[in-house]
Amino acid sequence: MRKFVFALLVMALLVIATGCESPETNVKTEKSLTIGDVTVHYSGDVSLSQAKAVLGFVRDNFQINGKTDVYVSKSGDSYTVKVTTPYGSADGIDKKTAFYVRIMASKMSQDVLNGAKLTLKLLNGDGKEVFSAESRYAYIESNGITVWYAGVSADDAQKVLDYAVSLVGSGPWDLFIDGSNPYTVSAMSSFGSKDEIGDAEGTYRKMVSDLSERLGGKVVLRVLSPDGEEIASFTS
């Protein structure tokens, strides 16, 4: 039962593929670096090491299929990363992909830019923006389980992570915790609708009770589909 409830394919693999030439990104670039099929263009206030790190992140976290251009710029303490994609318009981006890109914005911020504010944008073949997401979460992980957190302390996030590890042992499993009073904990699931939850409802209700005790406050548990959509919620 545990494996059925918690063995989750957390996020869809976003396919990046393009052959576009000179996309009109309105990003003033001064330098470029190419490794394999990926070229990163970066402005003068972005360091070479940062540009390399962004390029590496894209190669590691996005499936590359053809020449891909990445544009990195900085304004104040905030960064913008634009990636060329095969999507012609926003209509071509499904919910799972949109959810993945939102999480990747936060992951790139922490992994590459020391948690700085980051806006991740997808461009079509003409260099026009078709989707945008801002970094929101920091994250911690253990045993394939990741807790993304915003508006709460790292200590509270660690409590959720420790509990999740004690509950299921290992992932993949992603949970999100937002704010306190009440704490909102969102748990990825393999379920597509509330009707599919079945006997797992008891497990989710236990999670609400246990997390409320560990966090010392009211907890709202949101169960998410693989698309990141809420399909059920339980309250302590």
pLDDT in tens, the chain (236 residues): 222 233 333 343 344 454 444 444 445 557 999 999 899 999 889 999 999 999 999 999 988 778 899 999 999 999 999 999 989 999 999 999 999 999 999 999 999 999 999 999 999 988 999 999 999 999 999 999 999 999 999 999 999 999 999 999 999 999 999 998 899 999 999 999 999 999 999 999 999 999 999 999 999 999 999 999 999 999 99
Q: Which residues, listed in sequence order, are joined to residue 64 by a DSSP beta bridge?
A: 16
The structure tokens listed for 236 are 């302590």
The structure tokens listed for 233 are 């919620």
Domains in the chain, ordered, with CATH? 15-134 (no CATH), 137-235 (3.30.300)
Distance CA 59, CA 236 (A): 42
Reported pTM: 0.87
Looking at residue 209, its amino acid is S
The structure tokens listed for 54 are 């962004």
